[in-house]
Structure 1
């Protein structure tokens, strides 16, 4: 309806004589330049040998860190709905740095683009599971203005990090049915008292996600001493 109204107004102006147009619709003086509006800003600057050292600093922007903190809060069973706390920001920061470190390391054999894309899609499904639903994940992205391209870049980073852990540290992306059944029988999964056949795909995603998170944390604890990180204050 609004587009139709604008179009009608333009037609009405076009039908007026030139003099009438000048009288009825005078050209407004140019507006004074407005103050610049900050769309985003760097909040963390860091470097490590794995990423090229001090000559290749890494930057984390406010929107992406806030989005990642929202995911941590959504995955936290004790968090208040819609809020993220300092612990979620810290967890998001640690995960971001750890994933970037791992994604920067060479993998042998090098993954193909198809393998990275496949792992990125698996990372998307796992992220939706952590956020407790696709709608919540998209709402978190929308709340921080994170575009689909930015989300895809995050998923590719996670894909490369997971491939490094799987190929260079220990296999963890394809657990056996035996491993999954043991995990289910332990009662420590979200699928307690459910039949394995009914929950196998979701159980596998959860199990792989848990193993990757543990491996990420272990790697980062060892790498932390090599990481130089500083918080960038707002000007």
Structure 2
């Protein structure tokens, strides 16, 4: 039985029809790595991404942006996490959360994904979405790597919803609009309200009041 009716049944049907691929890539911690093959669900992953609604896709983009501009810019954490982990986070969050996937809950979904990531790191276990018994952290997240991740990401976690201000492109955009309020007026009332809501989220800590078009604009400007 699918949770939250996701993935959609037609998507599941197409995923089954596509099957999976076998690629000549072994487990790096295995003594027989050179002769091992791996199951690849890349075709199914594409179908899952295409089945996302607007808010779900924005969360995926926001997590990738956080990885690129915050985690990878930390010399201690660089190379420990990857975008595939972020994609897996979103898949599990979509399937298991009971919170509506609407723009007003955008920040809360990001926060839930971040908290889930910390839990995985603490347990040293990242379940593959298609084969949950397959731990994608094996050979990578343990010992000193685990301690560094928990320490650095834990300090960000304690910032609460303001954590997103650590993403330079978002912080700069917010600061620009704060210092140039006349721009929102020239762009019309609708855009003014969007920016106003966005500023409230990050400066007054009202986590449930956010507009996805504003975040989408910020994400688009980072390409």
Q: Given the two structures, how large is their TM-score scaled by the length of structure 1?
A: 0.28
Bigger radius of gyration among the two: 1
- Higher relative CO (Cα under 8 Å, sequence separation at least 6) belongs to 1
